[in-house]
Amino acid sequence: MQPRLPDMPTVPYYAVIFTSIKQPEAGQDYVDMAREMEDLVRNQPGYLGHESARDSLGITVSYWDSLEAIAAWKKEARHRMAQQLGREKWYQHYTIRICKVEKEYSF
């Protein structure tokens, strides 16, 4: 299920661009963990929203009010477990980019 496009505060805020290629064998355990992380991140301090899409490549962009909030989410205990399983079992490759959003406009 696609979250709606989030209503963001005025710039600047922060974005984490997570691009990934899954292992072909990533299965129900991956889906369950992804859902668990979606639920968990919503209660994380400083979390503003996220958007994701996947075809051959997956792109998830999450939005945050500060670099400190991003660092705290990276260190969250259950999320660390998910990251480790991701490297061991689910992802062929991923890249994470931490960005400062300087301008935004919509149509």
Chain positions contacting a copy of itself, by CB under 8 A: 2, 5, 15, 17, 19, 21, 51-59, 61, 67, 86-87, 91, 93-107
63: Cβ contacts below 8 Å, ≥ 6 apart: 6, 8, 13, 14, 15, 16, 47, 48, 49, 50, 101
In whole angstroms, the minimum distance from the beta carbon of 58 to a copy of itself comes to 6
In whole angstroms, the minimum distance from the beta carbon of 30 to a copy of itself comes to 15
Determine the angle formed by the axes of helices 77-85 and 28-42, rounding to 10 degrees. 150
CB of 28 or CB of 95, closer to a copy of itself: 95
In whole angstroms, the minimum distance from the beta carbon of 27 to a copy of itself comes to 18
Can you tell me the distance from the alpha carbon of 33 to that of 107, in angstroms, rounded to the nearest whole number? 34
CB of 17 or CB of 78, closer to a copy of itself: 17
